[in-house]
Structure formats: structure tokens, C-alpha cells
Amino acid sequence: MSEEIKENAVYTTKEVEKLLKVSNSTVKRLLKRGILKANKVGGQHRILGKEVLRLISPGLEKSAEKVYMKVKKKAVDVINKW
């Protein structure tokens, strides 16, 4: 049974290993290269669920970026009309 990754949940590196089904060294390599973003708390990494989701579904991030750019353009157009 697979576990659902919650966007706003905070995960440890061990939990991310289990979620992604990868080794500890792979998680460390992803963190070191900046592919997986995390914050350090008390010497340990804490990773947001949305970062894990971004890693496994980059298409989702691209579609969100398109929507953001569309909204931004509308806002800029309104401001420029003033």
C-alpha cells in the first residue's frame, strides 16, 4: 500500500527515502545538488511535501507556472492602464 504525499507536510530524509523508494545516499545527493530543496533544523534536513511532489511530477510545476504567468500578465495589463 502506497502512502500519499501531502503537499504541506514536513518529512525527514528517512521518510523521503521510503516515499521515493530510494537509498539514503540518493536522497543526500539530491539535496546536495539542489534538486530536492530542504531546510536544516537542528542539523537534520526537513523537506516539504510539495518539494517531493515537484521532484516526481515536474509537469505539474510547469502547468502551475503557465497559470501564474497568465495571471501576472493580466495584473500588469491592469496596472499599465492606470
pLDDT tens for 12-59 read 999 999 999 999 999 999 999 888 999 999 999 999 999 999 888 877
Do 23 and 17 form a contact (C-beta atoms < 8 A)? yes
Indicate whether 68 belongs to any domain.
yes
Look at residues 59, 52, 70 and name the one whose alpha carbon lies nearest to residue 3. 52
**Residue-range definition of the domain harbouring residue 76:** 10-81
Report pLDDT for 56: 86
Do 11 and 49 form a contact (C-beta atoms < 8 A)? yes
Q: 64: which 3 cell numbers? A: 502551475
Indicate whether 24 belongs to any domain.
yes
R_g of the chain, CA atoms, integer Å = 17
Q: How far is CA 38 from the centre of its chain?
A: 9
Indicate whether 62 belongs to any domain.
yes
Indicate whether 58 belongs to any domain.
yes
Indicate whether 18 belongs to any domain.
yes
